[in-house]
Amino acid sequence: MIEREEEQATEACEIEALRARVRELENLTKESGKDAKILWSIAEATPAAGAGFFPALAKSLANTLNVRYAFVTECLDQPVTQVRALAFWMGDRFVDNREWTVQETPCENVFLGKNCFHPKNLRRLFPDHPALEAMGAESYCALALRDHTGEAVGHLGILHDQEMALDHSQEPALRIFAARAASEIIRMRSEDATRESLNTLRTIIDGATEVIYLQDLEGVYRLINKAGAASLGRTPDEVVGKSDEDLFGSEAESLRVENETVITTEKPLVGEQTVTLGGSPHVFRTTKSPHRDADGRVVGVIGICRDVTESLAAEEKLRNAERLASVGTLAAGIAHEINNPLSAILFSADTALHVKDTPGHEELLEKSLENISRAAERAGRIVKSVLTFAGQQESPRERADLHAIARRACDLTRHVAETRGINIDLDGGDEMPVRANPLEIEQAFVNIINNAIEASNDDGTIAVELEKNAQSARVRVRDYGCGLTEEQKSRIFDPFYTTRPGMGGTGLGLSITHGIITLHGGSIEIVSEDGGTAVIVELPLEEAAPC
C-alpha cells in the first residue's frame, strides 16, 4: 500500500513538472493559443502509469500531432538492432506489440544519431517494406529515448499517410512525449531490477540450509526462511507473527535475553541454545546481529543458525573413538614398561629357585631376591604413574624439600647418563620447602632429566639449577643437545607424542610430568636456548602455597 502511495506521489510530482514545462513552452509560443492547447493535452493525456500508459501515450501523441500512426518501443539489445513496441497506434486501433529489426528501416538512423525526419516520399526511400506499404506511410519522424548515461532504451515515433510538416510547436511536443516515455521505461526497468534482486535474495534465503530469520524488538518473527520454519515443523507463514514464547514456551527466556543483549549492545552475538523440538532436545548454534533500518536504528535482530545436534553427536563419537585409540596406545606403552621389571622378576626368581639349596651361592640368592623386590617396586611405580596420568587426581601431600627431591632425581638418572659419558651438574643448595607428593615430583624430574639425556650428545652436560624467590621455587633443567623445533615444542606435552618414534619411548613421560606439576599448582615450560633446550618448572613455596 505504502509503495503504491509513493508511486502516486511521484506521479503527481512528474505531472507537476510537466505542467511547469508546458507553461514554459506556453510562454515561448504565446502567439499561438492553439499550440498551448496541444501542450496541455500532452500532460493531461498521459497521467496513468502501468499497463495502459504506453497505449495512452501513443494515441495521445498521434492525436496531438495530427498524424495517423504513433508508437513507443523499447530496445532489446545494445548496440540496438532489435526493438519491441510497447504500444503501436494505427489511427483506429492498436496492433499487437510487435518486434522488429531496425536495420534498413527508417528507425535505423534514430539510434545512429542521424536524420530521422522524412517529411515525404517515405516508401520511395525505403522500398520493399511491407509494413510501410500496408500503412501507406508517406512520412516519418522519430526520437531515441535515452537514460541518464545516454544509452538508448527505446524510441518514439510518428508516421503519417500524407506529407508531414512539423511546425515550431510540434517538435518540442514530440520531445516532451519522448521524455515522458523514457522516464517510464527507466522506471519500469528499475522496478524489474528491484523485483529481480528481491527474487534472488528470496531464492538465497529459501535455498539456504541454515535457519535465517528476522525478529522485531519485541521478539516477534517478521521473516523466517523455509529451512527455519521446517526445523520447527511449520511453514514460514505459521511462524511469522509469532514470538519465541509462542514457539518455545519456557525455553524462550534465554532467547529473549540474547535478543536483548544484541539490541542493547548493538553487537553480534554467537551462542548455542537447546530447545525441545518434536520431543527431543536440539542444539542450535546461532549468530544474532542487530537489524538496522535505513537510518541505522536497531529495529530488531537478524538470526542465522544451524541445528548442530547431529554434528555434536558425531564429534562426541569421534572423541570417544580417539579416547579408545589412546587407551590402546597407552596399554601398549604400559605393557612395554612393565615387561622389563617382569622379565627381571622371572629371571631372578628362577635364579633364586635354582641356587637356594646350593652352598656357596648365598650372595647370588640374596642379590636375586633383592632384584625381585626392586623390580616389583618399579612395576608398582609404573602402575601408579599410569594412574596419575589416567586419573590426574590429587595425591596426598606433605612438606617436602624440592632441593632434596631434585638431588634424588639426579642420582636416579646419573647411571644412565654416565653410560654415555654425560655429566649431570646440580647447582643451588638451599632448602626449598614445598607442599607436594615427593615421589610424584621426583618422577617428574626423572622424566625431565631422562629426556635431557636423550637429547644430549655423548659426553655432554646437563645443568640442573635451583633458585627461589619469595613465592616460588624454580628448577631449570638445561641440556646442550639437538634442541626442539617449534612443532615439537608445541606438542611435547601431548600424551604419546615422542620425538623418537619407534625407539622405545612411550610418549607419556612429559605428559605425566605436566600433569604432576600442574596438579601441584605449578607450571612447566619449554624454552629453546642457544644449542639446546631448557625445561623450567615452578612450584609454589609452602609458605605461599594455598592449603
CA gyration radius, the chain: 47
Instruction: Give yes or no for a contact between 399 and 379, defined as CB atoms under 8 angstroms apart.
Output: no
**Beta-strand relationship, 423-427 and 461-468:** parallel
Neighbour-count burial of 1, counting CB atoms closer than 10 A to its CB (0-12 exposed, 13-18 middle, 19+ buried): exposed
Q: What is the dihedral of CA 396, 401, 407, 408, to 10 degrees?
A: -30
Sheet containing 423-427: order of strands: 423-427, 461-468, 472-479, 532-540, 523-529
Q: Which is nearer to another protein, 168 or 354 (CB)?
A: 354
Q: Which is nearer to another protein, 308 or 342 (CB)?
A: 342
Q: Which is nearer to another protein, 314 or 335 (CB)?
A: 335
Q: Which is nearer to another protein, 507 or 540 (CB)?
A: 507
Beta carbon of residue 364, minimum distance to another protein (angstroms, whole number): 6
**Beta-strand relationship, 532-540 and 221-224:** unpaired
Residue 297 φ/ψ region, left for φ over 0, alpha for ψ in the -120 to 50 degree band, beta for the rest: beta
Beta carbon of residue 421, minimum distance to another protein (angstroms, whole number): 9
Beta carbon of residue 361, minimum distance to another protein (angstroms, whole number): 7
Residue 365 φ/ψ region, left for φ over 0, alpha for ψ in the -120 to 50 degree band, beta for the rest: alpha
Beta carbon of residue 509, minimum distance to another protein (angstroms, whole number): 11
What's the DSSP call for residue 541? Answer: B
Beta carbon of residue 371, minimum distance to another protein (angstroms, whole number): 5
Record the cell numbers describing residue 349, joined without a space: 626368581
Q: Which is nearer to another protein, 375 or 424 (CB)?
A: 375
Sheet containing 211-216: order of strands: 221-224, 211-216, 298-307, 280-292, 269-277
Q: Which is nearer to another protein, 73 or 351 (CB)?
A: 351
Q: Which is nearer to another protein, 13 or 335 (CB)?
A: 335
Looking at residue 181, its amino acid is A
Q: Which is nearer to another protein, 286 or 371 (CB)?
A: 371
Beta carbon of residue 482, minimum distance to another protein (angstroms, whole number): 11
Its sign, for the CA torsion 510, 516, 517, 519, is positive
Record the cell numbers describing residue 530, joined without a space: 642457544
How far apart CA 376 and CA 454 sit, in angstroms, is 26
Looking at residue 477, its amino acid is V
In the complex, which residues of this chain contact another protein (CB under 8 A)?
A: 335-337, 339-348, 350-351, 354-355, 361, 364, 367-368, 371, 374-375, 378, 415-416, 419-420, 454, 500, 503-505
- Per-residue DSSP letters for 38-80? HHHHHHHH----STTHHHHHHHHHHHHHT-SEEEEEEE-SSS-
Beta carbon of residue 351, minimum distance to another protein (angstroms, whole number): 4
How far apart CA 269 and CA 254 sit, in angstroms, is 13
Beta carbon of residue 454, minimum distance to another protein (angstroms, whole number): 5
How far apart CA 223 and CA 306 sit, in angstroms, is 16
Beta carbon of residue 479, minimum distance to another protein (angstroms, whole number): 13
Q: Which is nearer to another protein, 169 or 506 (CB)?
A: 506
Beta carbon of residue 516, minimum distance to another protein (angstroms, whole number): 21
Name the phi and psi angles at 102, rounded to 5. -80, -15
Q: Which is nearer to another protein, 274 or 343 (CB)?
A: 343
Looking at residue 538, its amino acid is E
Beta carbon of residue 411, minimum distance to another protein (angstroms, whole number): 13
Q: Which is nearer to another protein, 228 or 509 (CB)?
A: 509
**Beta-strand relationship, 280-292 and 461-468:** unpaired
Beta carbon of residue 352, minimum distance to another protein (angstroms, whole number): 8
Q: Which is nearer to another protein, 436 or 512 (CB)?
A: 512
